[in-house]
Structure 1
Amino acid sequence: MTQPARVKLTSISLSRLSNVCTEIMNIGEKAGIKIKGPIPLPVKRLNVVTRKSPCGSGTETYEKWEMKMHRRIIDISADDKAMRQLMRLKIPDNVYIELSLT
């Protein structure tokens, strides 16, 4: 029995995120199931701006840090066997995965 599922992937490392996406796509091709994606979502940018001088005197110079969060969605119409393979998939520490059955 096939059941539609949506896999949401989030990471700050684009290369690791694309590696996980290709592994999921390979599982889908081997199982012969329908896959839509990976669909790229807009990149979230988190900015932190701080002043360099701790005492507050002197010229106003600032440091800027930015963290980008890359997101992808993959829609799968998978059976039990393919879902088990997805659950066994080894995912790096900085890639977050959310699996929802619809």
Structure 2
Amino acid sequence: MTEILRIELVSLNPESLEKVSRMFKEIADKMGVRVKGPIPLPTKRLRVTALRNPSGEGTNRYDKYELRIHKRIIDIPNPDERYIRSIMGITLPDDVKISIVLM
């Protein structure tokens, strides 16, 4: 039976997300572990429109805000125990959230 280690990275900052995914890939290349990814998922855009003048007098003006959430998936078929231990020691930036699932 084939095991797959799936690493999901989520961040608001795409530069730090790419940096962390590059670190995972470099460690896998050094250890000779096969890696699929990083696979970019669609960017989620959260949009908020707020009325600038809440008094109701004059013309209506709106402020538009947008928050973008970037995601990457890295799949590792048949992960090595040494690789799993080494990725646990990586220091992540505060704006990158990680989820590791063994399927």
TM range (shorter): over 0.9
Give RMSD over aligned pairs: 1.1
Structure 2 match to 1:4:
4
Structure 2 match to 1:98:
99
Structure 1 residues not aligned, in runs of 5+: none
SS of the aligned residue for 1:15 comes to helix
1:3 positional shift: 4.2
Q: Over residues 7-53 of structure 1, what are the superposed CA-to-partner deviations in whole Å (9 max), with x where a residue is unaligned?
A: 00010100000000100000100110010000010000000110001
Q: By percentage of residues, which structure has more strand?
A: 1
SS of the aligned residue for 1:64 comes to strand
TM-score, structure 1 normalization: 0.95
Give, in whole Å, the separation in 2 of the partners of 1:70 and 1:90. Answer: 19
Structure 1 match to 2:48:
48
Structure 1 match to 2:15:
15
Seq. identity, %: 41
Give, in whole Å, the separation in 2 of the partners of 1:4 and 1:26. Answer: 18
Where do 1:55-94 residues align within 5 Å? Answer: 55-77=55-77, 78-94=79-95
Letter in 2 for 1:62: Y
Structure 2 residues not aligned, in runs of 5+: none
SS of the aligned residue for 1:34 comes to coil
Give, in whole Å, the separation in 2 of the partners of 1:14 and 1:79. Answer: 28
How many residue pairs end up in the alignment? 101
Structure 1 match to 2:29:
29
Moved beyond 4 Å, runs of 4+: none
Give, in whole Å, the separation in 1 of the partners of 2:89 and 2:56. Answer: 53
